[in-house]
């Protein structure tokens, strides 16, 4: 592949970059300085210049599947599929070729409340490649023939969805119906029917400065602010999210598998109240957030896994707590995967465990250690840090450093976690089940 940098100069730059990295070690997660600027158009610009040899620039929008309407369901998923196609200023070939020549990587992620575009490149390549990130995020063209060419990839992805992905998606549908209940994936009957006009309208409504944030890791504000100012975005507020209402709903899908996957949850905490969100994150680890040791089932420390295994009659089952927080709501519960003949018993045992969670000082101490380790470990990876900062910026409008979050974790008491456990025990549940579910009890049969 041809290079735009002469060979000797490229070698010199690599040696210089290596020397700089050695001279300036990465900052620890607790000491990273988060700098934020709010532009006059309300776009939030946040950076952590941590001397990382790999730089990341992400553009986040409050534009996930939650903001879809009946007319454009699946638009967010399709936007992820077509990320990097022709824009108003660059062709698909030009974008791909130039990013490859610089050794850069571009990805797109979609959640229920956000869409993000992330560019990864070495320090000396981030400045000449960031223009393509700006093009992709703000100057989409949506050529009809390119959309048609992307449909096979969309079908392939839908066909390969795992049972956990489909189960969690159905759980949101059962719990919220619309809004947060909108699927993360294009419905099969809507494949190939999302037009250029539909996508353009959706982008015009949700990709705005008042709903966006630009995040840089290993990048200074001196590069990030001018880049953010050059984004071709409107400043309108866009559609407001309807207030979510939790429903004790139930969705069941019989399938050809011999196993069953079940997700069950009650209403949890939102990120609007940081302390409540942390309390439920700790309760998640008390209940069982999955095995800490590879290949183990986590039954030694997880009440949920222990209950499911005891009820499984020597069958192989997996069970774990489930916790997710959004801007104004959340879900807390468990997921169970088991052979169809024991899935019902495993689910009943897990529900009993959820309704009788005991919280001790030792449990909370262990949960705090696990949560703080996760926060700091994620902060030490560029991708984890970029995602956490971006989501905070677009959902809460402010960004806390890792050390501030750790301080909030330390401030939670055992009584706070016990109160959340009591709330879970008295709450109503939503349920989603798929696969071999003939023996899975209905919600009104669970005690």
Residue 7 pLDDT:
29
pLDDT band for position 8 (cuts 50, 70, 90): very low
Residue 298 pLDDT:
62
Give the pLDDT mean for 17-36.
Answer: 50
The reply to whether 203 and 328 lie within a common domain is no
pLDDT band for position 58 (cuts 50, 70, 90): very high
Q: Is 296 helix (H, G, I), strand (E, B) or coil?
A: coil
pLDDT above 70 for 70: yes
In a domain? residue 15:
no
Query: In total, how many domains does the chain have?
Result: 2
Give pLDDT tens digits for 202-217.
999 999 999 999 999 9
* Rounded CA separation 22/214 (Å): 28
The reply to whether 76 and 202 lie within a common domain is yes
Domain containing 426: what range? Answer: 250-445
Radius of gyration of the chain (CA): 23
The reply to whether 169 and 46 lie within a common domain is yes
In a domain? residue 317:
yes
The reply to whether 270 and 313 lie within a common domain is yes
Give the pLDDT mean for 231-238.
Answer: 86
In a domain? residue 26:
no
pLDDT band for position 30 (cuts 50, 70, 90): very low
Residue 146 pLDDT:
95
pLDDT band for position 376 (cuts 50, 70, 90): confident
CATH number for position 40? 3.30.830.10
In a domain? residue 14:
no
Which of 408, 405, 412, 410 lies closest to 29 in space, CA to CA? 405
The reply to whether 213 and 259 lie within a common domain is no
In a domain? residue 344:
yes
The reply to whether 89 and 214 lie within a common domain is yes
pLDDT above 50 for 319: yes
In a domain? residue 235:
no
Which of 177, 168, 391 lies closest to 270 in space, CA to CA? 391
pLDDT above 60 for 13: no
The reply to whether 297 and 151 lie within a common domain is no
Q: What is the secondary structure of 45-71 as a DSSP string?
A: EEEE----SEEEEEEEES-SGGG--TT
* Rounded CA separation 156/170 (Å): 20
The reply to whether 155 and 204 lie within a common domain is yes
What percent of the chain shows pLDDT beyond 90?
67
Query: What is the pTM for the complete model shown?
Result: 0.88
Give the pLDDT mean for 4-33.
Answer: 39
Residue 29 pLDDT:
42
In a domain? residue 280:
yes
The CA-atom distances, in angstroms, between 112 and each of 84, 139, 143, 247, 373 are: 21, 23, 26, 18, 26
pLDDT above 80 for 180: yes
The reply to whether 265 and 120 lie within a common domain is no
Higher pLDDT, 34 or 418: 418
The reply to whether 223 and 273 lie within a common domain is no
* Rounded CA separation 363/67 (Å): 38
């Amino acid at each position: 592949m041809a290079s735009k940098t002469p060979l000797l100069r490229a070698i010199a730059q690599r040696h210089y970059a290596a020397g700089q990295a050695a001279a300036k070690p990465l900052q620890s997660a607790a000491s990273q300085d988060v700098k934020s600027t709010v532009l006059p158009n309300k776009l939030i610009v946040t950076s952590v210049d941590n001397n990382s040899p790999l730089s990341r620039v992400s553009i986040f929008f409050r534009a996930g599947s939650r903001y879809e309407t009946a007319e454009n369901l699946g638009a967010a998923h399709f936007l992820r599929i077509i990320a990097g196609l022709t824009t108003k200023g660059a062709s698909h070939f030009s974008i791909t070729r130039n990013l490859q020549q610089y050794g850069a990587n571009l990805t797109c992620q979609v959640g229920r409340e956000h869409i993000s575009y992330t560019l990864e490149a070495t320090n000396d390549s981030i400045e000449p490649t960031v223009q393509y990130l700006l093009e992709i995020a703000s100057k989409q063209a949506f050529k009809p023939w390119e959309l048609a060419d992307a449909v096979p990839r969309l079908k392939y992805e839908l066909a390969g969805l795992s049972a956990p992905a489909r189960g969690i998606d159905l759980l949101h549908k059962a719990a919220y119906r619309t809004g947060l209940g909108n699927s993360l994936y294009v419905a099969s009957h809507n494949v190939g029917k999302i037009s250029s006009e539909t996508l353009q309208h959706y982008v015009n409504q949700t990709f705005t400065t008042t709903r966006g944030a630009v995040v840089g890791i290993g990048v200074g504000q001196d590069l990030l602010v001018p880049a953010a100012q050059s984004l071709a975005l409107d400043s309108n507020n866009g559609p407001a999210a309807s207030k979510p209402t939790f429903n004790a709903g139930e969705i069941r899908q019989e399938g050809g598998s011999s196993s069953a996957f079940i997700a069950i949850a009650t209403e949890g905490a939102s990120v609007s109240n940081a302390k409540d969100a942390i309390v439920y994150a700790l309760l998640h680890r008390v209940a069982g957030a999955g095995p800490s040791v590879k290949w183990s089932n986590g039954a030694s420390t997880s009440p949920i896994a222990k209950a499911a295994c005891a009820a499984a009659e020597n069958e192989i089952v997996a069970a774990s707590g489930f916790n997710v927080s959004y801007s104004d709501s959340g879900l807390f519960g468990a997921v169970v995967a088991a052979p169809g003949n024991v899935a019902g018993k495993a689910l009943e045992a897990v529900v009993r465990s959820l309704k009788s969670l005991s919280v001790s000082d030792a449990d909370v101490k262990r949960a705090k250690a696990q949560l703080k380790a996760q926060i700091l470990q994620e902060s030490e990876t560029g991708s984890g840090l970029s995602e956490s900062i971006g989501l905070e910026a677009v959902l809460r409008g402010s960004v806390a450093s890792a050390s501030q979050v750790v301080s909030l974790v330390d401030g939670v008491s055992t009584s706070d976690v016990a109160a959340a456990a009591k709330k879970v025990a008295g709450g109503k549940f939503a349920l989603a089940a798929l696969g071999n579910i003939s023996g899975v009890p209905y919600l009104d049969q669970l005690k």
